[in-house]
Amino acid sequence: MKRVFSGIQPSGEIHIGNYLGAIRNWIKLGEKLGRDAIFCIVDYHAITVPYDPEALAKRTFEAALVNIAAGLDPEKVTLFVQSHVPEHTELAWVFTTQTPVGDLTRMTQYKDKAARQVSVGAGLLMYPVLQAADILIYKADTVPVGEDQLQHIELTREIARRFNGRFKEIFPEPQAFVDPNAPRIPGIDGKAKMSKSVGNTIGLLEDPKQIWEKIRTIPDDPARIRLSDPGEPERSTVFTFLKYVAPPGMVQALAEEYRQAGVGTLVIKRILFQEIMKILEPIQARAAELRRDPDYVWDVLMEGAKRVRPIAQATMEEVRQAIGLLRPR
């Protein structure tokens, strides 16, 4: 592993699914790789679905702030905003011309998101092509993501392979890196995955009272109607969450009691709330500090873009020559 790249969309509040599935891994990789751990707030991706232009800049800044608050160390890694390095979209266009439409229409994320829209923009279809450009412009070999992104990373490999075969061997074929302990965090509705655009999230900076209200709604084993009914932890979304955030010994003991109807759901939900807040409290405290010093976040982002842009420019120049463009004299 020499260089990693990953991105996060400023399309809403960053949630514990993002944290457990991706950001936690980014922090670990940053410890190992330093500046070659490159992380990006992908604002051009966030505009592939309907969005509020008034809110985009603020959300982009917030996404950076939350990542730093969550433990991404800007003194070690590189963090920047996608639109500050315009070569990403330039490379995406080149890849667009080389990617069969059929490869894009079969993407699960495209199908899911398109189904939720009245009018589907072409940008939503091209989403994974831009993602491929984000990764390949830095010749990254590893992409730490949640399981939901595996199909896109496979497409990135195909795009690299196709380009290398047709023009010139420029790009590595990057590997996805999914945390086996948290590949896909479900939504608090117990369905699919926790997702900003579905609104089934627990935000990293959400008010604890609001978080508790949400935890109260997490579905329990539907077969357990009375407190005296034995429960099956495997059927309870409360336990699914608990496994991600509480020590295994604690989860095992609670599961045992639950099976014997020795503990009420509300008690387990209280414990889940406490365990989640143990993770979120330091993040929220650090975020409050960063809010008092926004210039620090600005400096991180400006410095990050300044550092990676020459890499992106050099790759783009290789690409322009490889595909046969007339270069200016």
Question: Which residue positions form the known binding site for L-tryptophan?
Answer: 134
Q: Which stretch binds ligand AQP (CB under 6 A): 8-16, 91-99, 202-210, 261-269?
A: 8-16
Q: Is 139 in the active site?
A: no
Catalytic residue among 113, 139, 214, 269: 113
Q: Is 196 in the active site?
A: yes
Name the residue nearer to ligand AQP (CB basis): 12 or 233: 12
Give the Cα separation of 2 and 176 in Å (integer). 14
Q: Is 193 in the active site?
A: yes
Give the Cα separation of 156 and 16 in Å (integer). 26
Q: Closest distance between ligand AQP and the C-beta of residue 231, in Å?
A: 24
Which of 84, 139, 196, 214: binder of ligand AQP (CB under 6 A)?
A: 196
Which of 81, 137, 145, 319: binder of ligand AQP (CB under 6 A)?
A: 145
DSSP class per residue in 102-156: HHHHT-HHHHHHHHT-SS--HHHHHHHHHHHHHHHTTT-SEEE--GGGHHHHHHH
Residues in the chain: 329
Name the residue nearer to ligand AQP (CB basis): 195 or 236: 195
Residue burial 110-127, b: 16+ Cβ < 10 Å; e: rest: beebbeeeeeeeeebbbb
User: Binding to ligand AQP by residue 175, rule CB under 6 A?
Assistant: no
Which of 195, 200, 236, 315: binder of ligand AQP (CB under 6 A)?
A: 195
Size of the site for ligand AQP (CB under 6 A): 21
Give the Cα separation of 268 and 272 in Å (integer). 6
**Residue 308 CB neighbour total at 10 angstroms:** 23
Residues 22-81 that bind ligand AQP (CB under 6 A): 22
Give the distance from CA 159 to its chain's centroid: 21
Annotated binding-site residues read 9-11, 17-18, 134, 146-148, 185, 193-197
User: Binding to ligand AQP by residue 146, rule CB under 6 A?
Assistant: yes
Q: Which two tokens stand for residue 216?
A: 């109260």
173 close to 157: Cβ distance less than 8 angstroms: yes
Q: Give the end-to-end CA distance of the chain in Å, rounded to a whole number.
A: 38
Place of tokens 């209200």: 213
User: Binding to ligand AQP by residue 251, rule CB under 6 A?
Assistant: no
Which of 27, 133, 159, 185: binder of ligand AQP (CB under 6 A)?
A: 185
Where in the sequence numbering do the catalytic residues fall? 113, 193, 196
Q: Which residues contribute to the site for ligand AQP (CB under 6 A)?
A: 6-9, 11-12, 17-18, 21-22, 145-146, 148-149, 184-185, 193-197
